Chains A and B, each alone.
Chain A
Amino acid sequence: MSSRAAVAKTYKLYLGGAFVRSESGRTDPIGGVNVPRGSRKDIRDAVKAARGAAGGWAKKTAYNRGQVLYRFAEALESRSDGSDEYGEAIDLLVHYAGWTDKLAAVMGGVNPVAAPFLSFSSPEPTGVVAVLAPDRPDVLGLIREIAPALAAGNAVVAVVSRTSPLRALDLGEVAGVSDIPAGVLNLISGRLDELLTPLCGHRDVNAIIDATSDDAVAAQVDELAAETVKRVSRPTPYTDSLTRLEPLVELKTAWHPVGS
């Protein structure tokens, strides 16, 4: 039996629900594996896929989105290595699965306006969210940022850990079997200096979660965001979930006359 040659896995980007090599044909050797080195064009493809999927995802009922995120947690449990990091990541998905149908109750409400109108405000997904995941922890750090973005009803393009991208890319395989619609979650590996500008400067990205904890990156992200007034949030591992969710939604106020 020992003569059997193992079938090595080709690591790929997770883009539009499919596993693809970088269109650039480039890889970086990391941990003995050739990891796709995403390009400007990969980012463009990912944002396009995310935009295409965002409307359908936003339109699903909050209950349905909650169940899909819970399914993500179930699928990740079966991939867990039993470590605390995986345990925490799975529990975070469960936590955010429970947020989908509560955001409106917590953030929204009826406005007691001083005129005969029914005025109410409720949150809606902001659209396409770019995530710059931290380098460490590779799995938990990524889940911590994408879970709130998905729970709020957004589509996500995430740049995974640059230093340890393998397990993060594996999450695509988990998402792919957990009822998350194709294009709602896109995972790109590569070099931040190449990917930052095309992603954070993309006109079709609505919000950016910068979890790199890097001041130089922060300055660059803020500058790029200003071009199309993107919402930038910079949560720490200790930021509470509502504070993470708030910058990922728009609050819409509707007015309706009461009485003739």
Chain B
Amino acid sequence: MATVERTAVKWDYAPAPESRDSATIKPRYDLFIGGRFVAPTDGTVVSTVNPATEEVLAEVAFAGPGDVALAVEAARGAAAGWAALPALERGKYLFRIARLLQERARELAIVETLDGGKPIRESRDVDVPLAAAHFFSYAGWADKLQYAFAGREFAPRGVVGQVVPWNFPLLMAAWKLAPALATGNTAVLKPAETTPLTALLLAEIIEEAGLPDGVVNIIPGDGSAGASLVRSDVDKVAFTGSTAVGKEIQRALAGTGKGLTLELGGKSANIVFEDAALDQAVEGIIEGIFFNQGHVCCAGSRLLLQESVAEEVVRKLWARMERLRVGDPLDKNTDVGAINSAEQLARITSMVEAGEREGATRRSVSCALPEAGYWFAPTMFLDVAPANRIAVEEIFGPVVSVTTFRSPGEAVEKANNSAYGLAAGVWTDNGAKAFEVASKLRAGVVWQNTYNKFDPTAAFGGYKESGFGREGGPAGLSPYVRFGG
């Protein structure tokens, strides 16, 4: 083979923006209640903006307390009929939703990226196909529940209230609705304040799929709408969001006997051992913390490096970080998109300032950031002390804190030294060590030599203050039924 001389030519990517033509955003969206789009009775109308440009995308109706009550009433009215349908027929409606999601995939991906700021590569390759897969998989459970519940008698809970976050708007709606509907419940879903659009497109799809009126109700709103939904006449609450709000909900439901599942925050450890394939590990670290700008509850935000390779991994990681393409989320080459909202940007900024104040060493990549919109450069912290806020609290942004360890035992101890327990990553080519470390980690998901993998058949959820209950697989069904005669 001929030797190729390295040249100093820097090849850059040409812009490759996804066309917006495949998606039409209406000027205004109303609440989806009882099978119809209706104006709010005591709510408001709010603009939803593109966080990458601050451009207004649409006006969206936000539910007031009266609207929440109407939605719950509609779901209540539809509950008996939906539960009485033959299970396979319920499943067939869910299969239709899965197919319609696939048919409108392009449009959904574009709107998800416009409304939330995530790279089109992610909304196109992860959010939308996984949402469809989730409906497809749970569609198949509808008539097989007896196999999931091993002989136990079960019945749907009735009406479920579901509150989802802004980081995976469509996907989280799918995670919530698919198992609830498969088990025979009706639902009121509240999308997040800053990202209501794809949930409203899902409402259109549900209408198109011909689901009976009231089986699914989708009501955008702010935190107050979520608060009144969880306190309303529902039989079960499912929440994905921050640990602080999760605790409030758990308190609010105390003594009511209502079902509750919580998928909350995390501060997940990504552990790299000296016998790992380091280049692959670096890719996994990048995937772990910069996927979706780090707006991921299971983000690998605490990087634990074995001392003997720490310097090398940090060097490779930094070199890789400097090559991340930050910018236009609609560009197909973009790795890191916009921060979801001004509020979230302020939160990340204040956490990073706290990190600097507390003495950790900050390194942010020096990429050019667009002038409009909300942006934060990929950042790592070195010299982080275990008690530093950036090592303890969830940042929910593209910021990784790096610490080191000497032995597997110390790695496990450090990884478990957290109020959270959502996920962890383990990088080593020694399988016996990987499984031993995995078995000792107090986390609901452990990825070995990979990170941020999701599948409708694989249970997802946390230990400790990361919440309780699982989504995905047969485990994702049981929160939506009542057992016993």
Q: Residues of B contacting A70 with CB < 8 Å?
A: 95, 136
Chain A 205-226 against B: per-residue CB contact (8 Å), 1 yes, 0 no?
0000000000000000000000
State which residues 179-205 of A face B: CB under 8 Å: none
The reply to whether B88 and A91 form a contact with Cβ atoms under 8 Å apart is yes
Interface residues of A (CB under 8 A from B): 62-63, 66-67, 70, 91, 94-95, 97-102, 104-106, 116, 118, 241-242, 256-260
The reply to whether A259 and B436 form a contact with Cβ atoms under 8 Å apart is yes
The reply to whether B432 and A94 form a contact with Cβ atoms under 8 Å apart is no
Total residues of chain B contacting the partner, CB 8 A:
25
Chain B, Cβ-Cβ closest to A70: B95
State which residues 142-194 of B face A: CB under 8 Å: 142-144, 147-148
Between A70, A97, A98, A256, the greatest number of chain B beta carbons within 10 A of the residue's beta carbon is seen for A98
B92 within 8 A of A: yes
The reply to whether A94 and B473 form a contact with Cβ atoms under 8 Å apart is no
Using known A-B contacts A101-B137, A105-B457, A105-B473, determine if residue A94 contacts B431 with beta carbons closer than 8 Å.
no
* Cβ-defined partner of A256 (8 Å) among B140, B141, B431: B431
Q: Residues of A contacting B136 with CB < 8 Å?
A: 63, 66-67, 70
- A46 → chain B closest CB, angstroms: 29
Between B140, B432, B439, the greatest number of chain A beta carbons within 10 A of the residue's beta carbon is seen for B140
Chain A, Cβ-Cβ closest to B89: A91
Beyond contacts A66-B136, A116-B436: 15 other A-B pairs, Cβ-Cβ < 8 A, are: A66-B137, A94-B88, A98-B142, A99-B140, A102-B141, A102-B144, A104-B457, A106-B147, A118-B435, A257-B431, A258-B436, A258-B439, A259-B436, A260-B432, A260-B433
B221 within 8 A of A: no
The reply to whether B431 and A101 form a contact with Cβ atoms under 8 Å apart is no
Using known A-B contacts A63-B133, A66-B136, determine if residue A98 contacts B141 with beta carbons closer than 8 Å.
yes
The reply to whether A95 and B143 form a contact with Cβ atoms under 8 Å apart is yes
Complex CA–CA separation, A259 to B137 (angstroms)? 35
State which residues 353-384 of B face A: CB under 8 Å: none
The reply to whether A257 and B435 form a contact with Cβ atoms under 8 Å apart is yes
Complex CA–CA separation, A95 to B147 (angstroms)? 13
Complex CA–CA separation, A97 to B144 (angstroms)? 12
The reply to whether A256 and B435 form a contact with Cβ atoms under 8 Å apart is yes
Q: Residues of B contacting A104 with CB < 8 Å?
A: 457
Q: Residues of B contacting A102 with CB < 8 Å?
A: 140-141, 144, 147, 457, 474
Complex CA–CA separation, A135 to B209 (angstroms)? 37
The reply to whether B435 and A94 form a contact with Cβ atoms under 8 Å apart is no
